[in-house]
A and B are shown apart, each in its own frame.
Chain A
Amino acid sequence: MKFSNRLAMLVSIGLLNSAGLAIAAPDLLWLSDTAPKKSKPVATHNHASGSEDAVMSGDEADTIHTSVKHLWVRQGDELAKAAYLGNDVFPSALAMLDAKGKRSEAQQSPQNGTAHVKLEYQEMGFNNAYARRELLAGQTLRVQVAKAEVLKGSCCEREVAPEQLKAFSDAEQPLEIVRERMEKEKLFTRIVSGDVIKFTVLSKGQPATGVPVVMMTQQGWQKKSVSNEEGKVEFTMIRDYFPSWDDFRRRTKETFVVSAELEKPESGVFQGQKYNAVRYEATLSGKYAPSPYDYKSYSFGLGIAVFVLAFGGLGVYLYRRRRVKPFQEIRFEEKKD
């Protein structure tokens, strides 16, 4: 690890301890469904590095409809530049959980040296994927659990079992963030800027109260909050996509990551070293898109319809009036012989 990054990490951990609030760490672990650019460097050790994210181009492939899903393990709290971990750094399989409670493991299929998992689904609905890593930082054991919701969705299918739409959690995870479904959310609903999205923080399946939670977006915006007595916390998605109009792409999806931290005074031994506290760090990643209100106009739409209606009606009226022939009485004079 570079000295500057190590220093930044130490500073951030120090701030975290002193302020009692979560601050995203440079080695934040999270899952991404965005493929790295070809030139993207692969992290061969535990620090963040990289370049601009591929999704910024707005050319991201459809990740909802397709049966085949991909996940990469990434690290870093600067989401646009977060590194893709190499499969030598993160060789573990991902734990999978479906809506019916069925567990499985997804083995890695490394792509260009990155830690990568390929998943295939036939059934519609959400599936949870978990990547777990343990690190020792001084006397504290850090247990990082990165989670992603993998959705096989469709705008057309309606015959989906209701449990496939619900948010679900893994009671075995020491700390987990669950995104509550939005009102009327279906299998093709996008999160857009301006949406209020709600999360529940769970520890071993039970609501965790007073846990600091940080929402961070690809453009670098961060907001902190603390879970209430029901473990709930909510954020309004920021509007932070302001390209020039020619570059605007409504299909652009940007990444957000929500992280939560919970420290417990648990002691033990990890890789031969003792620790006297365990800090559980959970992340949940997702995507959000520009709000339709950014590029759709009701006033223009209704204006055009009303214009056509009014002038079309007037045109028909005038056309009909023009064709009305005035009554003309013709009198024939009968000759009287």
Chain B
Amino acid sequence: MSFPKLGLKARFDMIDWNRFRFWFQLSLFVLFVYGGYVGIDLGKNLPTFSCGYNTEGRGGMCYLIPLQHQFAWPWEKLFSAAAWTILSGFGLFALWFIALNKGWCGMACPLGTIQDWITSLRRKLGIRYGRYTLDQFRVLSQIKYVLLALMLLIPLGIGAGWFSKDLGSPFCMICPGRMIIPTLTAKFDHWTIDFSTTSKMVMTSLGMIVTGLFFVGAFVKKRFFCFFCPMSALHYLISKPALLTLKKDGDKCTRCGDCYRVCDMEIKEIADDVTNPRIMMDDCTLCMKCVASCPEKGALKANFVGITFFESTENGFIKRMHKGLHCDASKP
């Protein structure tokens, strides 16, 4: 049996997206968690949780660490020429970010990848996943903005002398990545409570509580932690000029809801909104599962610098839904 030859893009549209994404995530996971062992250092402005506390293995550093450090500078330094350091650092962060947009969350984030693996484990065990109600979703999706504000305001207060220096890097103190990612390189230093001061004790205790909740939450709810991630909030605020975009053609959408059902972040607008072509919402991780699950040709498209490299097609949908079964690839 012979099939007509397909172009590169048409073949990519037929790809088993979940498998492709798994290997892509795994590659970046190895890069960010173990890259340091082979001398890789992508700098300290990465828009993803390449945890800086993983001192030996990290292939680069999450930008939230230097950002919080710099915001904690004394105000006379913060509002001086030294602020250029912050601006240049933010510029580098933005440059990294616009390449992948929120794909840094869905495709690159080591903590996100760990959550996806926990989800796979749950699926293999046959345990159903949980979903939020619409009201819960609306409330929970605001938490990341609150955390982003606190993450910047607390260091500013430290610089002003209002708060103890022990509250430095407040988000890192409660981020489960600080505990989990160094552990993957046999570094267990952060699984501790620091009793040296009350502030440290409270923050490290919160960190351990959040880590416990991370495992429970990620087991029953897909991408549990991403709802609360301030990096995700920061991403969305600067996402307009990004090169990687998700587009929706509302005229081709039948509102079947497949995209909503596969969405790890339960973004309802992906199915309901047929008027906005820039469909990427603040909780979106650009995992592209919606594109892969859509049966309508061209209804959802992933573009890079305006060029569509992956779009929904009927054949791609059928192939992905019937893994291993033949479908007529000659049809457009």
Same complex for A and B? Answer yes
Q: Which of B1-9, B211-219, B250-258 contacts A (4 or more CB under 8 A)?
A: B211-219
Q: Which residues of B contact A292 (CB under 8 A)?
A: 189, 192
Enumerate B185-211 residues with CB–CB distance to A below 8 Å. Answer: 188-189, 191-197, 200, 204-205, 208-209, 211
Q: Which residues of B contact A249 (CB under 8 A)?
A: 196
Taking CB as reference atom, which chain A residue is nearest B165? A251
Contact of B216 among A156, A248, A296, A316 (CB under 8 A): A316
**Would B44 and A295 count as touching, CB distance under 8 A?**
no
Contacts of A204 in B (CB 8 A): none
Q: A295-B195, A296-B194, A316-B220 known; A304 and B61 CB under 8 Å? A: no
Beta-carbon contact of B194 and A305 below 8 Å? no
Taking CB atoms, residues of chain A closer than 8 Å to B196 are: 248-250, 295-296
B41: interface (CB < 8 Å)? yes
Beyond A156-B44, A159-B41, A304-B205, is A312–B195 a contact (Cβ under 8 Å)?
no
A184's nearest neighbour on chain B, judged by CB, is B56
Question: Is the C-beta of A15 less than 8 angstroms from some C-beta in chain B?
Answer: no
Q: Is the CB of A301 within 8 A of B216?
A: no
B216 with A158: CB separation less than 8 A: no
Chain B hits for A304, CB < 8 A? 193, 205, 208-209, 212
A161 within 8 A of B: no
Please tell me if the beta carbons of B220 and A297 are within 8 angstroms of each other in the complex.
no
A330 within 8 A of B: no
Q: How large is the interface on B (under 10, 10 to 19, 20 to 34, 35 or more residues)?
A: 20 to 34
Residues of A within 8 A of B217 (CB): 312
Residues of B contacting A309 in the complex (Cβ-Cβ under 8 angstroms) = 212, 215-216
Once A305-B211, A316-B216 are accepted as A-B contacts, the answer to whether A300 and B41 lie under 8 Å apart by CB is: no
Chain B residues with CB below 8 A from A316, complex form:
130, 216, 220
Closest residue of chain B to A252 (Cβ to Cβ) is: B196
- Flag if A295 contacts B194 (CB, 8 Å): yes
A156 touches B191 (CB 8 A): no
B103 is an interface residue with CB less than 8 A from chain A: no
Known contacts A159-B41, A186-B55, A296 near B215 by CB under 8 Å:
no
A306 an interface residue at 8 Å Cβ cutoff?
yes
Give me the interface of B with A, judged by CB distance under 8 Å. 36, 41, 44, 52, 55-56, 61, 65-66, 130, 179, 188-189, 191-197, 200, 204-205, 208-209, 211-213, 215-217, 219-220
User: 9 nearest interchain CB pairs?
Assistant: A308-B212, A312-B216, A250-B196, A295-B196, A296-B192, A304-B208, A300-B193, A301-B192, A309-B212
What are 5 pairs between A and B in contact, CB < 8 Å?
Answer: A296-B195, A300-B192, A301-B193, A313-B219, A316-B216
Beyond A156-B52, A301-B193, A309-B215, 11 additional contacts (C-beta under 8 Å) are A156-B65, A158-B36, A159-B41, A250-B200, A292-B189, A296-B193, A296-B194, A302-B208, A304-B209, A305-B212, A308-B209
